[in-house]
């Protein structure tokens, strides 16, 4: 499976997670689906060999759902980060690096009026890829993730906030051993269910 196929798979998985978590079920008290937009900071000493920056544009979703009496809820997150370097290498072609993370785990969200601070962690499945006009390579690895942040419930359902997280996994691309995880910083925009009065 190449990185383009993996990208399509992650997109389909993200939509499936959102649909499943949003579906009404008597066993689930509710949840939050917050879209993430920000940056992923990778190890420049590793990824600099491909001529790319250490700050990659990142987008995805943090989805949390669970039962009313559960001490923690289930976290099912999907994140995609990309960086494009124009005129890379001797021949001046474009180089693309890409990472896709499927993060599974648990998340605790506290409620203090409209404020929702949270922390979470679990297992991350990270795919990293490099592509230019002459070659492409990808690898997949498993590792931990930890994250936290805060969002505010505006009105009955609307969420807005910020997230910080860390992930870690080792991959091999084009013969180089690389850290595929990093620090993630982003803004959140989404909704929660059920609606609040």
Given a cut of 70, is residue 161 above it in pLDDT?
A: yes
pLDDT digits (tens, 9 = 90+) for 29-61: 789 999 999 999 998 888 888 777 788 999 999
Distance CA 51, CA 133 (A): 15
Range with the lowest mean pLDDT among 14-28, 66-80, 112-126? 14-28
Q: What would the mean pLDDT of 150-164 be, rounded to a whole number?
A: 95
Stated as kind and residue range, the H or E segment containing 64 is strand 55-66
> How is residue 37 annotated by DSSP?
E
pTM for the model stands at: 0.83
pLDDT digits (tens, 9 = 90+) for 163-181: 999 999 999 998 999 999 9
Using alpha carbons only, how large is the chain's radius of gyration in Å? 18
Q: For residues 107 and 119, is the Cβ–Cβ distance under 8 A?
A: yes
Q: Which residue has the tokens 């997949």?
A: 140
Q: For residues 101 and 146, is the Cβ–Cβ distance under 8 A?
A: no
The CA distances from residue 63 to 16, 46, 122, 131, 193, in Å, are 11, 30, 14, 30, 11
How many of the other CB atoms lie within 10 Å of CB of 192?
20
Predicted pLDDT at 138:
92
> How is residue 50 annotated by DSSP?
G
Confidence of residue 146 (pLDDT cuts 50, 70, 90): very high
Task: Of 15-19, 132-136, 158-162, give the range with the top mean pLDDT.
Answer: 158-162
Given a cut of 70, is residue 75 above it in pLDDT?
A: yes
Confidence of residue 149 (pLDDT cuts 50, 70, 90): very high
CB neighbour class for 26 (10 Å; exposed up to 12, middle 13-18, buried from 19):
exposed
Given a cut of 50, is residue 148 above it in pLDDT?
A: yes
Distance CA 158, CA 156 (A): 6
Predicted pLDDT at 1:
45
Distance CA 44, CA 37 (A): 21
Distance CA 9, CA 12 (A): 5
Domains of the chain in sequence order: 3-193 (2.40.160.20)
């Amino acid at each position: 499976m190449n990185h383009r196929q993996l990208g399509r798979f992650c997109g389909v998985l993200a939509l499936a997670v959102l649909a499943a978590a949003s579906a009404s079920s008597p066993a689930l008290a509710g949840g939050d689906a917050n879209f993430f937009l920000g940056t992923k900071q990778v190890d420049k000493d590793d990824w600099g060999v491909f001529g790319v920056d250490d700050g990659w544009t990142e987008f995805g979703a943090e989805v949390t759902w669970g039962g009313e009496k559960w001490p923690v809820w289930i976290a099912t997150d999907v994140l995609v980060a990309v960086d494009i370097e124009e005129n890379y290498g001797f021949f001046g072609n474009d180089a693309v690096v890409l990472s896709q993370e499927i993060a599974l785990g648990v998340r605790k969200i506290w409620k203090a009026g409209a404020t929702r601070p949270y922390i979470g962690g679990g297992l991350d499945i990270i795919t990293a890829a490099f592509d230019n006009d002459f070659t492409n390579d990808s690898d997949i690895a498993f590792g931990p993730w930890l994250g936290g942040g805060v969002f505010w419930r505006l009105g009955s359902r609307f969420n807005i906030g910020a997230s910080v997280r860390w992930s870690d996994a080792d991959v091999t691309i084009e013969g180089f051993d690389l850290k595929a995880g990093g620090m993630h910083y982003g803004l959140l925009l989404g909704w929660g269910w059920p609606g609040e009065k």
